Amino acid sequence: MADAHPLGRAWVGVAFGLLFWAAPARVWAHSEEAGVAVQTYTPIVVDGTLTEWVRRLERSDWSARLKVKGGEALEWMRAAPMYVNTLTSRVEAGAVSGPEDFNAVVYALWDPTYLYVAAVVTDDDVMTEHEGEDIWQDDAVELWFDCRHDAVTHTLFQEDEYQIGLSPAGPQRNQAVGWAWRNPQAQAVTRALEVASTLTPTGYVLEARVPWAVLHGCHPAIGGMIGFNLSAADKDADQLWTHITWSGKLHSDPSQFGHLYFVDAPVDLFPSDVFEGTAAPVPWEESSGGGTDGS
């Protein structure tokens, strides 16, 4: 899955600017890491393929004849990426030998009913040996929530704080699984989780959704935010277990969580996903693209 194309990123800076300009003054003793969850008006099917996460733009001439040769069909994620790797995040345990060993890009969408999460993970050795509450010992992506974003302690046992783990299907386990910890109502979250995955030539894709109704204190609204952290575990065949955290020095410390902002979907300038322009060359056309008659 390709990273977001520049055409799909321009609105992110605008959204951040409006949020910080309009948000009331508030004091946070938290990390400066920040992510964006984009509102979706299209239902997301949790099947591990990320079909609904991708936007497609095709160029046509004025006669509306589609031109899909010469690199004129573009695809990009309609969610903003959050990166978990050795350059952007903290390795708490173990080691990463290189980009092909482990790195992840995580995306978030939301609607009034669900939080949706997708992770595109590069992993050269997918290990899925454990079940239930022990899935954190395998390859996994973890989501951490402080719904009121008011934590000042270093423990995670408040009623609005959660740890959710997602682990893909793999050679040792034939289905993707999820689990919730560190909350008095964690069992309800585990039961409500929907998780799916697919293996790829370079790793795996995870997709999940969780109802807001089971996350006590989380009330998403455009311009709002919650405390949020990401961490990821990488287990290799040699039993080396590596853990990386996106925000702060300790993944489980809610006082070091970053922020997840809720923004509206960007204005859809291309409702039909077709950009109608002149036949003149555009930057993404091949220099030797040839004719403009659509043949």
Alpha-carbon distance 124 to 247, whole Å?
24
How many CB atoms neighbour CB 31 within 10 A? 20
CA dihedral 280, 282, 288, 291 (to 10 degrees): -30
Structure token digits, residue 148? 């009121």
Q: Residues of the chain with pLDDT > 70: what percent?
A: 72
Chain segment 153-176, per-residue pLDDT in tens: 776 678 889 999 999 999 889 999
Which class for 111: exposed (0-12), middle (13-18), buried (19 or more C-beta within 10 A)? Answer: middle
Nearest Cα residue to 166 out of 244, 231, 221:
231
| pLDDT tens-place string over residues 97-144 | 888 889 999 999 999 999 999 999 999 889 899 999 999 989 999 999
Residue 218's pLDDT is what?
94
For the segment 78-105, the average pLDDT, to the nearest whole number, is 87
pLDDT band at 184; cut points 50, 70, 90: confident
pLDDT at 150: 84
Domain ranges of the chain: 6-263
Cα distance from N-terminal residue to C-terminal residue, the chain: 29
- Amino acid 268: pLDDT: 53
pTM of the model: 0.77
For domain 6-263, the question of CATH label 3.40.50.1000 is answered with no
